[in-house]
Structure 1
Amino acid sequence: MTTLTGRKVLGIFTIGFGAIITANLTLAYNAVQTFPGLETKNSYVASQHFDDDRAAQQALGWTAEVHLVDRDLQLTLLDRSGAPIGDADLSGVLGRATNVADDITPEWSFDGQIWHAPADLNPGNWDLRLVATRGDDTYRRRLKLETVR
């Protein structure tokens, strides 16, 4: 039987707290490295326009859905009557919610019913931050996309 000395207790505490501190520093480092950045420069100012922006989006009556079929990103964009919107200028970013490393800007083409863009995506959760403009109307929407292989 060994005696529990002050040096042994110090060693136990040093190893224990060393492991905790190392884990915390590793997690903090990874959190900072994968932070995609700010969504808006001043969230308070952006919040002042939130209700007006939402009302403008709802007044348009547009709807959008996104799907991935093989490597074809398919966007259905419909007006209030359910007719496809093919004369809009589309822009936006397709990427992960937590990291900008995989972000791409889709190159859209319209086939008369659906918008298409080539996209070779890894499995997981993706966000399409879509901006569609037609005349004076601007439609902004964040669409969720889950891919599997």
Structure 2
Amino acid sequence: MKKITGWHVFGVFVLAFGIIISVNVTLAVQAVRTFPGLEVKNSYVASQTFDAERTAQEALEWDVAATLRGNELQLTITRDGAPVEPVIQSATFGRATHVGQDQEPEFFFNGDAFVAIVEGGKGNWNLRLRAQAADGTPFQQRVIVKVAS
């Protein structure tokens, strides 16, 4: 049996910390590369109208939900149980953690809900929605998409 020397302990020490550091660097690079970026250019400017915009949006009293069945994305917007058909200005369907699979669905209104075909699948999906009510009130919300089995 060989004797463990100081060089052996030093080698194991360097190897162990080398693995830890390389994993941390790899994870940090992946986190920065997949970060979607800024939500607003200037948070101070955006904060100046936030309360008024939120109050106007809440006054719409819309209930918004999104469901993914296979590759069909269904977006329902209702008020007091009745469907609402706002103008959809933009919609981005994608993963919650990165923008690599982001899609811009083309919705059509079927009388009850907006429907679009997307490349979905299992997992955590979000729909970042910007719409405008009939009275011109802007509406924006990040909707967590329910994936139906």
TM norm structure 1 = 0.85
Structure 1, unpaired ranges of 5+: none
Aligned to 2:113: 114
Aligned AA (2:105): P
1:126 to 2:136 alignment: no
Question: CA RMSD, aligned part only?
Answer: 2.0
Structure 2, unpaired ranges of 5+: none
Equivalent-residue separation in structure 2 for 1:125 and 1:146 (angstroms): 8
Q: Secondary structure at the match of 2:146?
A: strand
Aligned AA (2:75): L
1:121 touches 1:147 (CA, 8 Å); kept in 2? no
Aligned to 2:9: 9
Q: Which moved more, 1:34-43 or 1:46-55?
A: 46-55
Aligned to 1:54: 54
Equivalent-residue separation in structure 2 for 1:93 and 1:136 (angstroms): 21
How far 1:89 moved relative to its partner?
1.4
**Structure of greater relative contact order (alpha carbons < 8 Å, 6+ residues apart):** 2
Aligned to 2:147: 147
TM norm structure 2 = 0.85
1:107 touches 1:117 (CA, 8 Å); kept in 2? yes
Q: Which runs of 4+ in 1 moved over 4 A?
A: none
Percent identity (aligned): 45
Q: Secondary structure at the match of 1:55?
A: helix
Aligned to 1:40: 40
Aligned to 2:70: 70
Q: Which moved more, 1:39-48 or 1:55-64?
A: 39-48
Q: How many residues align?
A: 147
Equivalent-residue separation in structure 1 for 2:7 and 2:59 (angstroms): 72
Aligned to 2:87: 89
Aligned to 1:26: 26
How far 1:148 moved relative to its partner?
5.7
How far 1:99 moved relative to its partner?
1.0
Q: Which moved more, 1:131-140 or 1:121-130?
A: 131-140
How far 1:103 moved relative to its partner?
0.7
Equivalent-residue separation in structure 1 for 2:78 and 2:148 (angstroms): 26
1:123 touches 1:146 (CA, 8 Å); kept in 2? no
Equivalent-residue separation in structure 2 for 1:67 and 1:16 (angstroms): 46
Equivalent-residue separation in structure 2 for 1:20 and 1:136 (angstroms): 54
Q: Secondary structure at the match of 1:124?
A: coil
